[in-house]
Amino acid sequence: MPLRHATLHQLRIFSAVARHSSFARAAEALHLSPPTLSLQVKQLAETVGEPLFEQIGKKIFLTRAGQAVAQTCQDIEQRMERLSQELAALHGIEKGSVSIAILTTLKYTVPKVLAEFCAEHPGIEATLFVGNRETLLQRLAANTDDLYVMGQAPAHMDVMSEHFAENRLVMVAPPGHSLAGQREVPAQWLAQEPFVLREPGSGTRLTTERFFSGHGITLTNRLEVSSTEAIKQTVAGGLGLAVLSSTTVVSELALGELVQLDVQGFPLIRHWYVVCPAGKRLSAAASAFKTWLLHAKLGSPAV
């Protein structure tokens, strides 16, 4: 019988028997009855024209013909997997999934971009994780998500990164602060002011401390808070000044709950980066969202 009459079903069953070196274990793994499995292997052997297994004692071993068929099965499985990936790539922009992890600061902007992307591609399933920088770095190291959006790519990790938007950091104070309304306030005037700072390791905190250190100033840390919302409330309550991304204080400035100080050297300009592990093969859906994000109007409002 010509070899072309061998079916993928028979080859799959044979591959399982060869892998487990047992008809019984292969039947269990494939959820087939042993007689059904044995019949399929027998029919494949008849098609090949050679015995595929030989039994020595209670163990079965591949014959030379069986070894050749097993290698072919492996080649076919690999090619089928590549075909699956290629087909997924063709349809992945409309069907697929994407997992994104972002800094808490970006919860005011990226979810909107993601919603627009999903509205354009309703077949895509998206998941979004929001956390601080330390948590994102842990997830990045574990390759938990497809893409990570943060204020600075980690220098100690092998990653691919692209910056795509400005992140303007502004100085905010409670309403009625003595420096509110003054123009071009020198940094030295803030040397004795109490500050509400993000947690150690935060990109915003590092940038702020670097700026003041360059002016010979060590900030007075009145309070350390890991939540942007909590920082805004604390500053509004009069406990100190803070440096925050301008995207996070638009409403509070408009409502007069906070005021922005005109400090020389501000706003501090940073960038947002989209990051993934080096060498990571993005799915079509993830690649499409990355392109969408890179072209999104995500920059901070002019200040």
Question: Of residues 96 and 41, which shows the higher confidence score?
Answer: 41
Q: What is the CATH number of domain 168-270?
A: 3.40.190.10
Select from 39, 68, 30, 28 the least CA-distant residue to 52. Answer: 68
Residue 288 carries which side chain, given as an amino acid letter? A
**pLDDT at 303 > cutoff 60:** no
* DSSP line for 160-189: EEEEEEEEEEEEEE-TT-TTTT-SSB-GGG
Backbone angles phi, psi at 121, to 5 degrees: -130, 75
Distance (Å, whole) CA 45 – CA 37: 13
What tens digit of pLDDT does each residue of 103-136 get?
A: 988 988 899 999 999 998 888 889 999 998 889 9
pLDDT greater than 90 at residue 256: yes
**Residue 204 to residues 34, 81, 95: CA-CA distances in angstroms?**
64, 44, 37
To the nearest 10°, the Cα dihedral for 61, 66, 72, 74?
A: -10
Residue with tokens 């940094």: 187
Question: Could you give the C-alpha distances from 24 to 19, 20, 192, in angstroms and in order?
Answer: 12, 9, 78
Which residues of the chain does CATH 3.40.190.10 include? 96-165+271-294, 168-270
Distances in Å between the Cα of 174 and the Cα atoms of 178, 179, 182, 195, 228 are 10, 10, 14, 12, 15
What pLDDT, in 10s, does the model give residues 167-208? Answer: 999 999 999 999 999 999 999 999 999 999 988 878 888 899
Nearest to 40 by CA among 58, 17, 72: 17
pLDDT at position 300: 46
Residue 86 has a pLDDT of: 65
For domain 3-91, which CATH number applies: 1.10.10.10, 3.90.1150.10, 3.40.50.150, 1.10.1660.10?
A: 1.10.10.10
Query: What residue ranges of the chain are covered by domains with CATH 1.10.10.10?
Result: 3-91
Q: How far apart are the first and last CA of the chain?
A: 79
**Homologous superfamily of the 96-165+271-294 domain (CATH):** Periplasmic binding protein-like II (3.40.190.10)
**CB contact set of 276 (below 8 Å; sequence gap of 6+):** 146, 147, 148, 159, 160, 282
The pLDDT tens digits for 219-245 are 988 889 888 899 999 999 999 999 999
Tokens 């069907």 found at: 95
Distance CA 267, CA 125 (A): 37
